[in-house]
Amino acid sequence: MASHLIYLPKRNPKLSINQFITAWKEHSELGKSCLNVRKLIKSAKQCARIGYPTIEGVSEAYDGLAILSLADGVQSSDIWDDSEVLSIMKPDELRVFDDYVKNFTLEANCIFSKYPLEQSHQHCLIQLLTLDEYQSSEELTHELRAHLIHQSSNNESSFIKQKTVYLVTHQPSRQFNYDVVIATWFDSEKDALLFVDKKNLSASHLFAERFLIKQEIKLLLSVTHNRT
């Protein structure tokens, strides 16, 4: 059972990035009329690819990202099959995105978190990892968590305000063949850029000692909408 949903959207190609941000906020506002969904989702943080120059090593594969924390016992099917979602949210999705939301959503469990995540953290580096070696979810969770706890004792950049690691439990299609999502949060755009300028883009310091990384996608994003 996933405790988080992670959206990896591309915008409707008719929209500019700024129009996409506005349209996504409008779409999220529709959720306020979906009483069931408000009970199913504890919080949501929406981010978009804005405010950053083109940086070597940072991808433009997706126009944004959202991390939704689900209420206890909730499954993704409770959301996708909800009558209000089907009648209110889904008909509006293609106005905003290039596909239906379900088709670009990862299901994931948080397996590690360092420092508390505050609403004030407005900028993030997202690393999407595909591991060459993959074990069962339970084995991988145990080994990853132990490895991350060990690594967390090392000194990290003072720019980092929070780091969270998610293990993907369900991928909507082979197009989203990611096993691990790392979210590193910063207080300011300046800090995020300084962190990137110091070439702190590789996830190898977390995983290379044990895991082979087949693919790594890096996104630099700013928060555009919070819902708690």
Instruction: State residue 171's pLDDT score.
Output: 94
Neighbours of 146 (CB within 10 A): 12
**Residue 211 identity:** F
Higher pLDDT, 117 or 102: 102
Identify the bridge partners of residue 124 per DSSP, sorted by sequence position. Answer: 185, 221
Instruction: State residue 9's pLDDT score.
Output: 97
Instruction: State residue 118's pLDDT score.
Output: 64
**Residue 208 identity:** A
Instruction: State residue 211's pLDDT score.
Output: 73
Instruction: State residue 25's pLDDT score.
Output: 94
Average pLDDT, the chain: 84
Centroid of chain to Cα 183: 7
Higher pLDDT, 50 or 68: 68
- Tell me what the mean pLDDT of segment 68-88 comes to: 92
Range of the domain at 17: 4-227
First and final C-alpha spacing in the chain: 21
- CATH code assigned at 222: 3.30.70.100
Instruction: State residue 189's pLDDT score.
Output: 85
Instruction: State residue 226's pLDDT score.
Output: 84
Each residue's pLDDT tens digit, 118-162: 667 889 999 999 987 655 556 666 766 666 665 555 556 677 888
Q: How far apart are CA 102 and CA 170, in angstroms?
A: 11
What's the number of domains the chain is made of?
1
Each residue's pLDDT tens digit, 166-204: 999 999 998 999 999 999 999 888 888 888 876 655 555
Indicate the pTM of the whole model. 0.89
In the predicted structure, residue 51 carries a pLDDT above the cut 90: no
Judging by beta carbons within 10 Å of its beta carbon (0-12, 13-18, 19+), is residue 211 exposed, middle or buried? buried
Higher pLDDT, 138 or 108: 108
- Tell me what the mean pLDDT of segment 51-71 comes to: 87
Q: With beta carbons less than 8 A apart as the criterion, state whether 69 and 44 touch.
A: yes
